[in-house]
Amino acid sequence: MSGSVRFGMMIRLEEGLPEELVAKLQEILASSFSVISPFMHQKGVINCQVFAKNVFEIEPVREDIDSLKGVAESEVLMPSRVIIHQEWILKKEIEARTHWRR
C-alpha cells in the first residue's frame, strides 16, 4: 500500500464498561482508516494495527476516541521497522471496498 502510514493504537478503558464501547471503538477505527488488523481486547486494553492514508488524519481520530466516556487514554505507536504482508492488506482492502458498494 504505497503512500500509507502504518501505526499501532493502544486504548486503555476504564473498568467495568459494557461491550458496546468496544464495538463503538471498532466502528470508529473502521470508518476512519483504510485497513485494520485484528482488533485485540484483553483486560481493559485494546490493541490494533492501523493503516492511514496520511499522518495528519491520525491525531483527530485519537482525540475523538479519548473524548469517549469510558476511555481512560489512547496512544499512537509508530514502528521504526515494518514488515508488511501485502497479500493480507490487499485482501482486507478488497473486502472493505466490496462491502462499501453493497
> What integer pLDDT is reported at residue 100 of this predicted model?
58
Nearest-CA neighbor of 77 among 60, 66, 63, 62? 62
> What integer pLDDT is reported at residue 84 of this predicted model?
66
- Beta bridge mates, 6: 51
Instruction: Look up the CATH number of the domain holding residue 71.
Output: 3.30.70.260
Per-10-residue mean pLDDT, the chain, length 102? 78 83 89 78 87 89 93 88 70 77 55
Nearest-CA neighbor of 89 among 60, 61, 49? 49
Nearest-CA neighbor of 44 among 64, 73, 75, 8? 73
> What integer pLDDT is reported at residue 15 of this predicted model?
83
| Spacing of C-alpha 7 from chain mean position | 9
Whole-Å CA distances, 33 to 28, 29, 48: 9, 6, 12
> What integer pLDDT is reported at residue 17 of this predicted model?
73
> What integer pLDDT is reported at residue 74 of this predicted model?
93
For the chain, what is the domain count? 1
> What integer pLDDT is reported at residue 2 of this predicted model?
56
Q: Give residue 58's domain range.
A: 5-101
